[in-house]
Structure 1
Amino acid sequence: MKSQTIVVKLGTNAMTNEDGSLNAALIKSIVGQLAMLRKNHDVLLVSSGAMGAGRNILKNKPLHYDEVTSRQLYAVVGQVKLMEIYSNLFAEYGLTVAQMLATRQDFENRTHFLNTKNCIESLFREGIIPILNENDFVCVEELMFTDNDELAGMISKMLFADKFIILSNIPGVMDENGDVIGEFAHDAKMPDHIHSSDKSSFGKGGMQTKFKIAQDAAGHGTDVFISKSSEENVIVRIIDGEHVGSRFVAGESLKKPLIHSK
């Protein structure tokens, strides 16, 4: 099989239990799949979960701050735990991970953009798996992504990824009857009524956001899938050509920069 560039986004609701704690068994499964794919492909993970992890760590220590400060504290405490888990799990496969924290400025400023792209490509060459999250510590409103779906979509376009897999807690884009809609053209209209209960109290995104991000990435030439994280071997099966969840069929690759020189 031809080597591919694969971007996987693991959402908060796709990797946590109902109380917001991290689902260790699921994360271990995802790591195992990515480790397997890393043998032949370049793999990048965009992972949420830091805020939920931090909230769980600090659950016996009530915080008396405004919402923004509290979210920052949860995020920075939880990010350490999140990376510790990933580092230990990937090490079982002899793999090294790299933490990358991004803001919108890293995509809007050309120097930041090129430095980020160069760093990721260098990590790929060294066989290291980049793990990205939004930098909640420094993000003010104008530098924030809508959610990690947007961050993953921008990374996918930056790298001209072959596959972009968005993992959620529901099996794909579902119609009003709860049936998965299997395929969309990159320029398809969003259905008037779609099931949108994939948003958790610890995350920011929803299915409408995922649809728009997936459609945009597909329009840039990437095959995009929205699938359920707990589906057995979901990532490997998609890369092997199986149709799991909702697919957004890649349009013609635009192969042009996302930003202009400043």
Structure 2
Amino acid sequence: MDSEKQYKKRVVVKVGTNVMVNKDNRIVGPILKRLVDQIARLYEEDVITVLISSGSVIAGKEVLDTNNIENDTVRRQVYSAVGQPRMMRHYYSMFHDYGMRCAQVLATKRDFDPGKHRENMINCYEGLMSQGIVPIANEDDAVSLSMSMFTDNDELASLVAELINADMLILLTDTDGLYDGHPDHDDSSLITHVTTDQRVEQFVQSSTKKEGEGRGGMESKLNVAKKTAAKDITTFIANGKTPDIIMDIVHGKDVGTRIFQEDDE
């Protein structure tokens, strides 16, 4: 790896739990492999990616499918603590196949408050990226309490994008983007472009998530996307299961839903 390498672009990619699991709520290795493959190919184009990865709770449940922990918060903490190293083992092995290295960066919301913690976070990310090491971020569920928890990993991704002055934020989910109706209805159409002041909240479809899945939904993604785009970081909501979706977005193809400030168009 080149020392103090300079990059043409900085991209933050958030992959949600629903992208990486099958119908049985188990982690799908080939999907993670395709994700890593795109990040590795972008690196060859001098584009560095920070990955915000969900999945630790599901990965922990795969090991501790049955347990007698009654407290919901403690149960989630235990699942995450067990699942986090399993997720990193997957990523470490996959990036190693491309001759690349990755690193885990766990954080609570307090770490982004102005002060020494934020400065340390910036130094950590800058140091990793300068050495071509892919930072993989997640909430530190094992120690997060209600006051220091992120709303979801969409919020974490937005804060990281702002922290590192990213050029682009990509929120990967299990739909192609924001629709003007329910995504499963034939008469619904994908909304490809949304400005930060455009009122499209009425199109957001609520959904019920199973226990153990990620906390975020389309409402969260749209809210985060608008806030991030307002800071001059163009944001996309797209389907993480679509082949080469990250490459297509970075290369300027008209896919997913793009959220931007109108004067950036």
Q: Considering the TM-score relative to the shorter chain, is it more than 0.5?
A: yes
Q: Which runs of 5+ in 2 are unaligned?
A: 1-6, 184-188
Q: Deviations over 1:70-91 (max 9, x none)?
A: 1011001000100000000000
Q: What amino acid does structure 1 have at the position aligned with 2:192? A: G
Provide Cα deviations, 1:222-256, integer angstroms capped at 9, x if missing partner. Answer: 11110001111000011111011100024679xxx
Q: Which residue is equivalent to 1:14?
A: 19
Look up the SS of the partner of 2:25 in the other structure. Answer: coil
Matching residue within 147, 155, 176 for 1:150? 155
Structure 1 counterpart of 2:4: none
**Contact 1:220-1:251 within 8 A present in 2 as well:** no
1:65-116: CA deviations, max 9, x gaps?
3111110110010001000000000000001100000101111141111110
Evaluate the alpha carbon distance shift between residue 235 and residue 174 of structure 1 in structure 2; reply closer, same or farther with a 3 A threshold.
Answer: same
Letter in 2 for 1:52: I
Q: Aligned partners of 2:22, 2:52: CA distance in 1, in Å? A: 19
User: Does residue 243 of the first structure (1) align with residue 248 of the second (2)?
Assistant: no
CA RMSD of aligned residues (A): 1.6
Map of 1:58 onto structure 2: 64
Secondary structure of 1:124 counterpart: helix
Over 3 Å counting, the alpha-carbon distance change for 1:200 and 1:44 in structure 2 is: farther
Give 3-state SS (helix, strand or coil) of 1:151's partner. helix
Alignment correspondent of 1:45: 51
Give the percent of matched residue pairs that are identical in Structure 1 and Structure 2: 35
For this pair of structures, how many residues does the alignment match?
A: 251
- Equivalent residue in structure 2 for 1:128, among 114, 127, 133: 133
Give 1:24 shift: 0.8
* Paired AA for residue 58 in structure 1: L
Q: Any conservation in 1 of the 2:201–2:219 contact (CA below 8 Å)?
A: no
Following superposition of structure 1 onto structure 2, how do residues 78-227 of structure 1 map, counting pairs within 5 Å? 78-178=83-183, 179-197=189-207, 199-201=209-211, 202-227=213-238
Structure 1: stretches of 5+ with no match in the other structure? 254-262
CA distance in 2, matches of 1:174, 1:56: 33
Native 8 Å contact 1:219 1:251 kept in 2: no
Deviates most, 130-139 or 16-25: 16-25
Give the corresponding residue for 1:228: 239
- TM-score normalised per structure 1: 0.91
Could you say if the C-alpha distance between residues 136 and 94 of structure 1 is closer, same or farther in structure 2, counting changes exceeding 3 Å?
A: same
Q: Distance in 2 between matches of 1:232 and 1:127?
A: 24
